[in-house]
Amino acid sequence: MSDVNASRSQATIKRLRQSFKSVFLVLIAYILSFGPAYSTTYAFFGLSGCEPVLKIYAPVIWLSEFTILETALGFYMMMWLWFWGSIVTY
């Protein structure tokens, strides 16, 4: 009986790890998608067209302003804006 409980426990732990990995990857994808979403909207619609993007990504903006990620996310955004700016001007 203890073997059955042990295997159930291991299966539960495996499922929890997989769930945490999935949630972590979705959050990372959400954070990293801010760069292309904002820069594309800015390139094609200007600053006035960015309002919906800024509302959707408000948690990412908060992270970039009030946490230790300020420098990294700021650099990431500048790279995307520079990249799209150079493509749009050609």
pLDDT in tens, 26-38: 999 999 999 989 8
- Quote the tokens at residue 22: 């999935």
User: Residue 78: is its pLDDT beyond 70?
Assistant: yes
pTM over 0.85: no
User: Residue 3: is its pLDDT beyond 80?
Assistant: no
CB-facing half-sphere around the CA of 41: CA atoms within 13 A? 18
Confidence of residue 45 (pLDDT cuts 50, 70, 90): confident
User: Is the Cβ–Cβ distance between 45 and 38 less than 8 Å?
Assistant: no
Look at residue 42 in the predicted model and tell me its pLDDT. Answer: 85
User: Is the Cβ–Cβ distance between 77 and 64 less than 8 Å?
Assistant: yes
